[in-house]
Structure 1
Amino acid sequence: MILLEWDRTARQAPGVAAVFGTGLIGRTAIDALRRNLDCVRLHHMQWDWSSDTSGQARQIAQTVRNALDPHEDAVFATIWAAGHSGFGTDPAGMQTELAALEDVMNLVQKIGATLPPNRRCFIHTSSAGGLFEGQTACGANTKPVPLRPYGEGKLAQEACVRNSDALGRRHILRPSSVYGYVPGARRGLFTVLVATALQGKTARIMGAMNTLRDYIFADDIGRFISDLVCNHASNPISNAVSTTLLASGRPAAIYEVINVVKACVGRPLFIKIDPHPENARHNTFLRTALPRDFKPTGLHEGIALTVGAVCRDRFQGAFL
């Protein structure tokens, strides 16, 4: 996990953000915070939920307190973007992830126990795809009906956060099918398509070509999280819970994604379709369900940016 610490300036209050999970969403949130805040310092901290975390927790707590104590108005934000679960995760795996989340919640509650609610917040990243799998044209009032342990586990995590008043202000985010690229993050469909096209290899598709999904560029989520943190101090609501869908409101079929990737890369794309896909259900959302000021990146632009990121990091900027 990574701690971000920033100083007071003419346009910002001082603060600390603890980011648990440095994959696609966590990393884009960190990058957005570094762009939006001045004088940011990063502390790379050890957090391994597969082992005893008591010693790690003490070190994290001490580092955060050292940063908060000199300031009477410092903000303490926690961003949960961790977890290794996916659509195929079983109930035991989801229970392990919930236990890790509870450990983090206990830690940040202790750290923030002396801070007023309006100086701390907890941002939890859930999964719209897991909660609404198989549902289409989902609106703001659509009820989640999970079809797998993955979705049920995400719903349980949301309830845990929602019911924990001691966390201060809570923001539950429900991103749809996230794409993009950061080094070291789990590779999703878009990254696999780009990499295999560049290398002339074959990509295996675990869905139907006409499967509709609502794809959202990871950087859009990172910017939204950064805005929540940066605007926290100026928000008059001191202790509340919000649940927000983050999607594009513009569904696309897999065959459209493939065609856009081919156009951006400028090379043929070899595809092998799974004849018995386990993840082929449609999943779409209405634009009216999105936050009013949320402006998602268009699919073509997002894929072009993903192609550029893959090339820069993995191919030294050259189309091999």
Structure 2
Amino acid sequence: MSTSGTGPVLVVGSRGLLGEAVVREVARRGRPALRAQVRWGADARTDLAQALDQALEAAGESPVQIAWCAGVGVTATPQEVLDAEYQTLCAFAELLTGLPEATRHRMTLFFASSAGGVYAGSPSQPPFDERSPVGPLAPYGRAKLKAEERLVELTTSGIRVVVGRIANLYGPGQDLTKQQGLISQLALAQQTAQPLGVYVSMDTLRDYIYVDDCASIVVDMMDRAHQLDPGSPAVTKVLASQRSVSIAALIGEMRRIHRRRPRVVVAPSARALQQARDLRLRSVVWPDLDHRPLTPLAVGMVSTGEDISRKLRVRGRSRS
């Protein structure tokens, strides 16, 4: 895939699952990846301003790309937490619009959104793509759409904006404390012999994309967008493997890998009302970016399990 970008990439949320992978991908391509060191809370705006200044200084007159991969929100996140995240994002948007015009015209911003969050209640039939009407069922999905809309406004100031509506992301580096990521939670349950409560039907269909594959598409999206004229309309793309897998099939694959079945308990919950049973996805925007070999699900599940095993060993040593 052609890489037109030459300047630095500022990664916001660089310690998260996607952010870490984007940093690795940028470095793999021989380009500088800058990690925004942000104290989320009252100091976030100050830290984001400092990170932006550092990126602009490193770029000189070169293009600047920003990958916003931050976000602690999940489906069950309280509204006040989502509101605080949105205010921080708005503060960053204000920083960008306050830059000189020439600087804005060489900037590209990627925003990591959620395909599951925005399409969960779509009135159209799956598979969902960029043309499908959105229909979030939970505050998390509505917050993602609101953030998308705010950042898309930046195109009027000359900044190129690309939005990635990402499928279920998985791989090494998942934050297990967020209770997010079914593959990671299954692997954790398998290795700790603890039961995992699943509150949706076993025939629920989801699209799982390995984090390194997703990061590669993210960087390609930013490079492609840089070739557009300043202020071009924002581009939204679904980032997915475009293959659906049921929860029952995931459990079966985990059993095949580990030669024993993970302990799964179907636990009905009101949260199931915020989940769609069928979230098959596809992309019709910049489809050539999807023409690449993707990590097979079984291979990705093994890598994820090995990462969790290492973390458990480290945790065990720290307690001994």
> TM-score when scaled to structure 1?
0.83
Partner of 2:279: 284
1:291 CA displacement:
4.2
Structure 2 match to 1:5: none
Deviations 1:129-187 (A, max 9, x none): 11111453223311001112211111111111112222611001100222222165645
Secondary structure at the residue paired with 2:287?
Answer: coil
Partner residue of 1:15?
A: 7
AA of the residue aligned to 2:218? I
Change (3 A) 1:199 1:52: closer
Report the Cα distance in structure 2 between the residues aligned to 1:274 and 1:194, rounded to whole angstroms. Answer: 18
- Partners of 1:16 and 1:75 within 8 A in 2: yes
Q: Give the aligned partner of residue 89 of structure 1.
A: 77
Cα deviation for residue 269 of structure 1 reads 1.2
Out of 115, 121, 144, the position equivalent to 1:154 is: 144
Q: Which of the numbers 112, 118, 121 marks the counterpart of 1:131?
A: 118
Compare 297-306 and 307-316 and name the one that shifted more.
307-316
Contact 1:264 1:304 in 2 (8 A): yes
Question: Would the aligned equivalents of 2:206 and 2:246 in 1 still touch at CA under 8 Å?
Answer: yes
Contact conserved, 1:161 with 1:170, CA < 8 A, in 2?
yes
On the 8 A contact 1:108/1:167 being kept in 2, the answer is no
- One-letter amino acid matched to 2:282: R
The answer to whether 1:46 aligns with 2:37 is: yes
Unaligned runs of 5+ in 2: 315-320
Partner of 2:107: 120
Q: In the TM superposition, what is the alpha-carbon distance from 1:298 to its structure 2 partner?
A: 3.3
User: In the TM superposition, what are the counterparts of 1:180-199 in structure 2 within 5 Å?
Assistant: 180-182=171-173, 184=175, 186=178, 187-199=180-192
CA 1:222–1:314 in 2, change beyond 3 Å: closer, same or farther?
farther
> Where does the alignment leave 5 or more consecutive residues of structure 1 unmatched?
1-10
Which residue of structure 1 aligns with residue 93 of structure 2? Answer: 105
Distance 2:219 2:255 in 1: 32
Contact 1:198 1:265 in 2 (8 A): no
> Deviation digits for residues 258-307 of structure 1, max 9, x if unmatched?
11122223333111211336235313235354642214433223223322
The count of corresponding residues between Structure 1 and Structure 2 is 299
Q: Distance in 2 between matches of 1:160 and 1:275?
A: 36
Which range moves more in the overlay, 50-59 or 263-272? 50-59
Contact 1:246 1:290 in 2 (8 A): no
Name whichever structure is richer in helix by fraction.
2
Counterpart residue number, 1:32? 25
Contact map agreement 1:134 1:282 (CA 8 A) in 2? no
**For 1:37 and 1:230, how far apart are their aligned partners in 2?**
14
> Do the aligned partners of residues 45 and 188 (structure 1) sit closer, same or farther apart at CA in structure 2, a change above 3 Å counting?
same
Report what 1:7 is aligned to.
none
